Amino acid sequence: MRIVVIPSWYPTTEVPYAGSFVRSAAKAVAEAGHEVTVLFPELRSLREWRPGSGSGEMVEEDDEALKIWRWRGFRWWPRERHGSIAFSSAVRKLFCEYVAEKGPPDLVHAHVVLPAGYAAYKLASVWGVPIVLTEHAGPFSMMVETAWQRWQVRRAWEAAGAITAVSPALAANMRDAGLRRDVDIVPNTLDRIFLEPPEPARRAAGVRFLTIAAMRPGKGLEDVIEAFARIARGLPDATLTVAGDGPIRGKLGAMAAELGVADRVRLPGELAGHRAVRNTLIESDVFVLASHAETFGVTLIEALACGRPVIATRCGGPESIVGAGDGLLVDVGDVGGLSDAMRRLAGETGRYEPRALAERCWARFGPSVVARQYVAIYERVMAAQPRVDEA
């Protein structure tokens, strides 16, 4: 099959982690033997426009098994929420170039309803290509705040031959927002680097807790530091690493100092790529995710694939990831419950065999597993909608 992927977010030089989960899913399908081309409008603020900079340019890249076509232009309607008009215009330019060179694809796979799903609807209205729409964003209510957004979302939903969500919690959120049709649950997948055999935890003086997250409100990083401070006296050799960057990094450092654990809380900054994430996970004993809301939780499956038990909040996505034998779930914002879970796992890390954790994770979230699910959906949608040249 020839598949065109349209992501609402995708890695760029400036923001290398944006939409990395889309890249992993597209790579998985490409590695399964299909031709996958990502069409991504990399739109910049008008503040960056200068005389002579032009209206935009198309750039083609090879990314292992993927082809990437980017439209590097400007967001001419800066006040529009989600930038659907500028995004759709750029997607149309890219798609016209694609069709001129290769002919219509077998299917378009859009990730996130606004702006990519709406852009796919616009393509379908002209070319009649079948569409699959995958939702990642939450809370989904932010996609339907205005009448204009609701109109765009309805058009995208109606045009899609199939709609998927990365977790049951997100699918329920979409139904609450008005979706009245079936939703296939297809989880995010692992980058292939996380299929390397897990390594046993290195012998250390004390348990090493780790969390990886953008340092912004809602990620529960304050809860993790407070919970760690509560158990620190009873675990004098334990450490906590909080990897990531963002607007509250200074606040987190000050909080650790105020609670008397600054010498045991490490803030190494953002991790540069999947290899750095894996290496950091290998140098830990327990992974903690304390978010107040997550549609999935990619770092959880990365930790499990590295053979590390996890603690996570019941914030949406983790409930469909953390099963019996993977670790513990606690309530959102329950610092006492979080500290109890950290204390418990500090004494039970030996119960979790790394290879067993990894193999259970690979069986559910491995690239070939997720690719098979998507390909089955593609085939179903294509069978229900004949190609334009056959109509």
Over the chain, what is the mean pLDDT? 92
Residue 139's pLDDT is what? 84
Q: Which CATH architecture has domain 2-189+367-390?
A: 3-Layer(aba) Sandwich (3.40)
Task: Spell out where the chain has E strands.
Answer: 2-7, 35-44, 56-63, 66-74, 107-111, 131-135, 162-165, 184-185, 208-212, 239-243, 265-269, 286-289, 310-313, 327-330
- Give the tens place of pLDDT for each residue, 223-256: 999 999 999 999 999 999 999 999 999 999 999 9
pTM passes above 0.85: yes
pLDDT higher than threshold 90 for residue 18: no
Task: Spell out where 224-339 has E strands.
Answer: 239-243, 265-269, 286-289, 310-313, 327-330
- Give the tens place of pLDDT for each residue, 335-355: 999 999 999 999 999 899 999
Helices 118-127 and 84-102: crossing angle in degrees, nearest 10, is: 40
CATH topology of domain 192-364: Rossmann fold (3.40.50)
Examine domains 2-189+367-390 and 192-364 and report if their fold is the same: yes
What is the percent of the chain with per-residue pLDDT over 90, rounded to a whole number? 82
- Give the tens place of pLDDT for each residue, 48-63: 655 555 567 888 999 9
What is the percent of the chain with per-residue pLDDT over 70, rounded to a whole number? 92
The gap between the terminal CA atoms of the chain, to the nearest Å, is 19
Where exactly are the structural domains of the chain?
Answer: 2-189+367-390, 192-364
Per-residue confidence at 391, pLDDT binned at 50, 70, 90? very low
Per-residue confidence at 200, pLDDT binned at 50, 70, 90? confident
- Give the tens place of pLDDT for each residue, 105-144: 999 999 999 999 999 999 999 999 999 999 998 889 889 9
- Give the tens place of pLDDT for each residue, 168-190: 999 999 999 999 999 999 999 99
- Give the tens place of pLDDT for each residue, 325-337: 999 999 999 999 9
